């Protein structure tokens, strides 16, 4: 079967293309923007990529067109599919129908941390010899590809709350029907499709309704928004995880809920912590401890790890094996990925789409730098590219999100609801804003110093700023 994917370079659709290829289909695809790392992965698999959305890409006619949620009515390729009566479906529907229908699905949902947690969980299962299938919205460093069919009943899927397609406005994750469901967190996002937080909560409760009674729902301790969702009804057993929760609280939660997972932090930046499993009893009891020292930093990643360990345990993986796997976890591309060091200046790439993601990443990096022998400046270079940020919804949150940095450099989108003049004036950290990437590169070339750590934050290609910056720094006098 010839499958053509519209929006193929998106993190989800690109991973879908990998699985379709593994199923033996002929796969091609179109996208408005074709850029690494997804384009590199797909081209390496022999998948034909085409720039733009042209009628010619659908000639000769494919047997099936999978339409990504970034495309809407009015798009020339979409209109061609409808006018010609071509067979089409959505990515989540195709995945559910042809891949997930007979699998033990482990779904990872939440506003933040989905990709990293999914990658951790898939790696734990792989390390344990379970040979899982997986679909992760990014390219991981422990796997050659972002998706695989696997060789067992287990399938890990990044469960996104964004809508399915222009013809199906439900969240993607309602299609997946997980047996093990991680709900990492829940905040307001995607203001382009959700009116308010209540609208997102409704979709999350739809997800909870699909988890079977013999499944498991895993949530963080004291997340008021998720507690409100669960209060609407939950028909499945539940486990919680937390960081540095007092022992007496852990015992109480374990006694009431069966199992509670606690991370005892050995350092502020999260490079070392102990996983403690509390089990059910009259007063609760410690059922196991295991130390993790790893390459990853940030309290948010410790939380991601705890959720992954709990889900893997539900699938039969013991704590010692899970923690051993995480000691070898190498992270995900575009999540604080070091791209290069030039003249003493470190340049990182980070996929940031929300103020909380920006804040937790910068706080983790700042804590790590403070523990270094010599002090280094942390410079955040941010493209507020997500629809929600561009609308100006998070104006005040963006001010607070960046305070762990020593300097902030903003790229101003062409059309934006953000008041950059106010954003700069309200910032307690030195902040600057530029219209063009070239101006940002020139400014950083002139102002950066040896020892600086520059974190480039965007959920898009950012006009190739990473390599432009590395090249400019290499030619600095």
Summarize the annotated binding site for ATP as residue ranges: 110-116
Note whether 18 and 71 are within 8 A (CB).
Answer: no
Write down the residue that tokens 């796969």 correspond to: 27
Chain mean position to CA 30:
23
For 363-421, give the DSSP string: HHHHHHHHTSSS---EEEEE---SHHHHTTTTHHHHHHHTTTSSEEEEE--SS----HH
- The span from the CA of 160 to the CA of 477, in Å, is 46
Note whether 131 and 151 are within 8 A (CB).
Answer: yes
With H, G, I as helix, E, B as strand and everything else as coil, classify residue 214: coil
Task: For helices 299-314 and 355-370, give the axis angle rounded to 10 degrees.
Answer: 110
453 sits in the region (left: phi over 0; alpha: psi -120 to 50; else beta) called beta
For 410-463, give the DSSP string: EE--SS----HHHHHHH-SS-EEEESSHHHHHHHHHHH--TT-EEEEE-SS-GG
113 sits in the region (left: phi over 0; alpha: psi -120 to 50; else beta) called left
- The span from the CA of 190 to the CA of 187, in Å, is 10
Roughly how many angstroms between the first and final C-alpha of the chain, as a whole number? 56
- The span from the CA of 405 to the CA of 453, in Å, is 10
Element (H, E) at 289: strand 285-293
- The span from the CA of 400 to the CA of 363, in Å, is 11
| Helices then strands, each counted (H, E), the chain | 16, 23
User: CA–CA distance from 455 to each of 42, 336, 352, 412 (Å)?
Assistant: 26, 7, 10, 17
Q: DSSP assignment, residue 62?
A: P
User: CA–CA distance from 229 to each of 20, 219, 252 (Å)?
Assistant: 34, 11, 22
For the annotated binding site, the residues are 110-116
């Amino acid at each position: 079967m010839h499958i053509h994917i519209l929006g193929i370079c998106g993190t989800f659709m690109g991973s879908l293309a990998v699985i379709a290829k593994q199923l033996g289909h002929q796969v091609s695809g179109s996208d408005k923007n074709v850029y690494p790392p997804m384009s590199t992965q797909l081209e390496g698999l022999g998948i034909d990529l085409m720039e733009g959305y042209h009628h010619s890409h659908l000639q000769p006619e494919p047997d099936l067109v999978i339409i990504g949620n970034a495309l809407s009515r009015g798009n020339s390729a979409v209109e061609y599919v409808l006018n010609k009566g071509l067979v089409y479906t959505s990515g989540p529907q195709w995945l559910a129908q042809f891949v997930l229908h007979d699998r033990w699905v482990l779904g990872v949902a939440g506003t933040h941390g989905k990709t990293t947690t999914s990658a951790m969980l898939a790696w734990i299962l792989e390390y344990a010899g379970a040979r899982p299938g997986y679909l992760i919205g990014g390219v991981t460093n422990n796997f050659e590809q972002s998706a695989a069919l696997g060789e067992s009943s287990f399938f890990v899927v990044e469960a996104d709350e964004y809508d399915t397609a222009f013809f199906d406005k439900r969240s993607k994750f309602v299609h997946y029907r997980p047996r093990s469901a991680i709900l990492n967190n829940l905040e307001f996002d995607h203001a382009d499709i959700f009116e308010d937080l209540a609208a997102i909560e409704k979709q999350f409760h739809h997800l909870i309704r699909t988890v079977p009674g013999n499944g498991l729902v895993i949530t963080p301790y004291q997340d008021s928004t998720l507690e409100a969702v669960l209060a609407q009804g939950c028909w499945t057993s539940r486990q919680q995880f937390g960081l540095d929760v007092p022992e007496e609280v852990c015992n109480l939660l374990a006694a009431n809920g069966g199992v509670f997972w606690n991370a005892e932090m050995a350092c502020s930046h999260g490079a070392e912590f102990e996983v403690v499993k509390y089990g059910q009893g009259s007063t609760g009891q410690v059922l196991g401890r295991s130390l993790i020292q790893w390459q990853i930093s940030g309290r948010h990643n410790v939380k991601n790890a705890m959720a992954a360990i709990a889900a893997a345990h539900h699938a039969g993986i013991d704590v010692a094996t899970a923690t051993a796997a995480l000691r070898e976890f190498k992270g995900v591309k575009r999540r604080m990925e070091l791209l290069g060091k030039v003249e003493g200046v470190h340049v990182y790439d980070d996929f940031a789409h929300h103020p909380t993601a920006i804040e937790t990443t910068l706080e983790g990096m700042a804590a790590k730098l403070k523990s270094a022998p010599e002090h280094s400046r942390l410079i955040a270079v941010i493209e507020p590219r997500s629809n929600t940020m561009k609308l100006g919804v998070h104006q005040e949150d963006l001010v607070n999100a960046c305070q762990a940095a020593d300097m902030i450099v903003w790229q101003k989108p062409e059309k934006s609801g953000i008041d950059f003049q106010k954003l700069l004036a309200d910032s307690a950290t030195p902040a600057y804003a530029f219209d063009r990437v070239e101006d940002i590169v020139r400014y950083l070339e002139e102002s950066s110093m040896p020892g600086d750590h520059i974190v480039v934050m965007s959920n898009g290609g950012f006009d190739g700023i990473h390599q432009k910056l590395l090249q400019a720094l290499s030619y600095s006098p």
